C-alpha cells in the first residue's frame, strides 16, 4: 500500500493528512512538538484559557469540507455560530464603532459614524464580493503553477476583468479613492494585515477581503479556536492517520530525483512526502544539498506578532470578541515594520476576548485578553527592549482609550514574540504568513505546492501557495491533495 508522510501538524498538515487518508494512502504525521495544531493551539494559565494563535474564523465551510472528505458529518466534530458583531473599533479621539456582520446594518451604521453614504459602503462590499468571486477559483483554489489552471473558463473570465482588480494600485490608494473618511479608510486598510502585509504596499485586489467578514460573516467555534485543531486531529485519528509527536524530522530523503521518505533518529520510507514546515527551513534544514529556489526563499517576510496573554480581573462591556485600537499614524506604523524593522511608539492594538463568547475561558468577573501588536519578523532586533517598551505603550494606550488603569487588573500573563514563534513553529524569522504580499507579483512568487525537480515531494501551509491564515492553509491542503495521484496511479 502506498505511504505518505506529512511533516508538521499545523492546520494544513492535518487537512492534508485527512485528504490523503481518504484517497487510500497510509499516512504518518511527524510533529516536533508534543501537540498538534502549529500556531492554532491554546494556552492555559491560572484558570484562564487563551487561543494562542489565529483568532478570526471565516469561511468555516472549508473546515467542513475537510471533514466531509473523510466521510464524516462536520457537526459531529465541530459546532460554530455566526457573530452579530464583527469587530469593535476605537480611535484616540474617542470615536468608537461597532461593525455589524450584516452588510446592510454595517453600511447604515457607518453612514451615521463617518463621512460616508451607506450606498458607498454597499458598493464597496459589492465590489469586494465581485473581486472574490472572480479570483478565488483561479488564484486560491488551484495551483498557479500548472498550465491547466489558465485553460479554464474561470481563468478566462478573471483575465478579462484584470484591469478592474487594481493590481497596479495599493490598497490604501484604492480605499482613499472609494472612501472619503480617513477613519473608514483606516478600517478597510487593516485587511492587508490578514496576510501580514502593509496596506501602503499591498495591491488593491485586497479590497476583496472584507467580503469574507461583512458578506459571508465572522464565526466562532464552540470551545474556542483550538476546537478547529481538535476536530481535525480527532477526525484524522478516527480515519487511521498515524501521529508521531516529539519527532523532529532532520532530513527529507531524496533518491534518484524522487522523495523517498524522511529521517528522524531513523529512516522512514514513503512514496509521498508533504512538508507543512515553512518552505525556507524545509530547504535549508531538511534538503541542504538540493537546489533551492533562491528568489522565492529570499522574498520579504510577512509581519510577525507580539502577543500578550493577560488574565484581566475586571470586565469591559465596551469590548466584544474582536477589538481594534488604531494608531494615530497608520502609515508610519507600517513604515517602521517593513522599512525600519522596528515597532513604533503608537502601535495598533488588537484584543481578542474569547470569554465574550465562551464564558468558561475566564473566571467569573474576569476576561481573557489576547493582546496583539503587528511587529516585523525577527532580523536580530533587541526583542527584550522592544517587548518591554511595547508592553508599556500598549498598557498606556488602552488605559487612555478605555479610561481605566490596566496594569493593576493583570493577574496573570504569558507572551509570544517572533523568536518564540520561530522556535515553536519553525516559521522563518517568526513571520506569521511566510512571504509578505507587498507587491502585485507576490502571489505568483510564492512557492508552488509541489517540487518540480523532485517527484513525490509536495508542500502545504502558509508559506506556500495560496498563503497564510486558516482559510488559505486549508485551501493549500486541498490543492496539494488534488495534485497527488491516487495510490493506484502514484507509481505510474
Question: What does the pLDDT profile of the chain (492 residues) look like in tens digits?
Answer: 699 999 999 999 999 999 999 999 999 999 999 999 999 999 999 999 999 999 999 999 999 999 999 999 999 999 999 999 999 999 999 999 999 999 999 999 999 999 999 999 999 999 999 988 888 876 777 776 676 765 666 666 666 666 566 767 999 999 999 998 999 999 999 999 998 999 999 999 899 999 999 999 999 999 999 999 999 999 999 999 999 999 999 999 999 999 999 999 999 999 999 999 999 999 999 999 999 999 999 999 999 999 999 999 999 999 999 999 999 999 999 999 999 999 999 999 999 999 999 999 999 999 999 999 999 999 999 999 999 999 999 999 999 999 999 999 999 999 999 999 999 999 999 999 999 989 877 766 789 999 999 999 999 999 999 999 999 999 999 999 999 999 877 554
Q: Does residue 165 lie in a domain region? A: yes
The boundaries of the domain holding residue 110 are 102-216
Cell readout for 37 is 495544531
Separation between Cα atoms, residue 251 and residue 263, nearest integer Å = 5
Answer for the pair 153, 240: CB distance below 8 angstroms, yes or no. Answer: no
Q: Does residue 114 lie in a domain region? A: yes
Closest among 328, 480, 320, 315 to 409, alpha carbons compared: 315
Q: Does residue 167 lie in a domain region? A: yes
- Residue 145: count of CB within 10 angstroms of its CB: 16
Cell readout for 228 is 478547529
Res 492: pLDDT: 46
Answer for the pair 288, 280: CB distance below 8 angstroms, yes or no. Answer: no
Cell readout for 24 is 487510500
Q: Does residue 196 lie in a domain region? A: yes
Q: Which residue has the cell 538540493?
A: 290
Q: Name the DSSP class of 36.
A: S
Separation between Cα atoms, residue 268 and residue 3, nearest integer Å = 10
Q: Does residue 188 lie in a domain region? A: yes
Res 196: pLDDT: 95
Res 449: pLDDT: 94
Answer for the pair 468, 196: CB distance below 8 angstroms, yes or no. Answer: yes
Number of domains in the chain: 1
Q: Does residue 485 lie in a domain region? A: no
Q: Does residue 441 lie in a domain region? A: no
466: preceding bond cis by omega (within 30 degrees): yes
Q: Does residue 157 lie in a domain region? A: yes
Res 442: pLDDT: 73
Separation between Cα atoms, residue 89 and residue 323, nearest integer Å = 6
Amino acid at each position: 500500500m502506498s505511504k505518505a508522510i506529512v511533516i508538521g501538524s499545523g492546520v494544513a498538515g492535518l487537512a492534508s493528512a485527512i485528504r490523503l487518508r481518504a484517497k487510500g494512502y497510509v499516512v504518518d504525521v511527524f510533529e516536533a512538538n508534543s501537540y498538534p495544531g502549529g500556531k492554532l493551539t491554546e494556552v492555559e494559565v491560572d484558570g484562564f484559557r487563551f487561543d494562542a494563535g489565529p483568532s478570526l474564523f471565516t469561511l468555516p465551510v472549508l473546515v467542513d469540507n475537510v471533514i466531509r472528505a473523510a466521510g464524516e458529518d462536520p457537526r459531529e466534530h465541530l459546532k460554530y455560530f455566526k457573530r452579530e458583531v464583527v469587530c469593535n473599533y476605537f480611535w484616540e479621539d474617542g470615536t468608537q464603532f461597532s461593525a455589524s456582520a450584516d452588510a446592510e446594518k454595517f453600511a447604515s451604521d457607518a453612514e451615521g459614524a463617518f463621512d460616508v453614504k451607506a450606498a458607498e459602503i454597499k458598493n464597496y462590499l459589492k465590489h469586494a464580493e465581485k473581486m472574490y468571486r472572480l479570483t478565488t477559483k483561479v488564484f486560491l483554489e488551484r495551483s498557479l503553477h500548472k498550465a491547466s489552471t489558465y485553460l479554464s473558463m474561470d481563468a478566462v473570465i478573471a483575465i478579462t476583468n484584470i484591469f478592474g482588480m487594481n493590481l497596479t494600485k495599493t490598497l490604501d490608494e484604492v480605499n482613499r479613492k472609494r472612501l472619503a473618511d480617513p477613519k473608514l479608510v483606516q478600517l478597510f486598510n487593516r485587511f492587508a494585515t490578514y496576510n501580514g502585509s502593509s496596506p501602503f504596499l499591498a495591491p488593491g485586489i485586497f479590497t476583496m477581503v472584507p467580503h469574507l467578514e461583512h458578506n459571508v460573516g465572522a464565526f466562532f467555534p464552540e470551545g474556542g479556536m483550538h476546537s478547529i485543531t481538535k476536530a481535525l486531529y480527532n477526525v484524522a485519528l478516527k480515519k487511521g492517520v498515524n501521529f508521531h509527536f516529539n519527532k523532529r524530522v532532520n532530513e527529507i530523503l531524496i533518491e534518484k530525483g524522487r522523495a523517498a521518505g524522511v529521517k528522524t533518529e531513523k529512516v522512514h520510507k514513503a512514496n509521498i512526502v508533504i512538508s507543512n514546515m515553512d518552505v525556507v527551513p524545509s530547504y535549508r534544514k531538511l534538503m541542504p544539498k538540493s537546489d533551492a529556489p533562491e528568489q522565492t526563499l529570499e522574498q520579504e517576510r510577512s509581519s510577525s506578532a507580539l502577543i500578550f496573554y493577560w488574565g484581566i480581573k475586571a470586565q469591559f462591556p465596551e469590548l466584544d470578541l474582536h477589538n481594534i485600537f488604531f494608531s494615530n499614524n497608520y502609515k508610519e506604523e507600517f513604515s517602521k515594520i517593513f522599512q525600519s524593522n522596528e515597532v513604533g511608539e503608537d502601535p495598533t492594538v488588537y484584543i481578542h476576548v474569547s470569554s465574550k463568547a465562551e464564558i468558561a475561558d475566564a473566571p467569573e468577573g474576569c476576561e481573557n485578553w489576547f493582546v496583539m501588536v503587528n511587529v516585523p519578523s525577527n532580523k536580530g532586533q533587541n526583542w527584550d527592549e522592544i517587548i518591554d517598551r511595547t508592553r508599556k505603550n500598549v498598557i498606556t494606550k488602552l488605559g487612555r482609550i478605555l479610561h481605566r488603569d490596566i496594569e493593576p487588573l493583570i493577574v496573570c500573563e504569558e507572551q509570544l514574540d517572533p523568536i518564540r514563534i520561530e522556535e515553536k513553529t519553525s516559521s522563518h524569522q517568526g513571520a506569521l504568513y511566510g512571504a509578505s504580499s507587498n507587491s502585485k507579483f507576490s502571489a505568483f512568487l510564492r512557492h508552488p505546492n509541489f517540487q518540480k525537480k523532485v517527484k513525490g515531494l509536495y508542500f502545504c501551509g502558509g508559506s506556500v501557495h495560496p498563503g497564510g491564515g486558516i482559510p488559505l492553509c486549508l485551501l493549500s491542503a486541498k490543492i496539494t491533495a488534488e495534485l497527488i495521484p491516487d495510490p493506484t496511479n502514484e507509481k505510474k
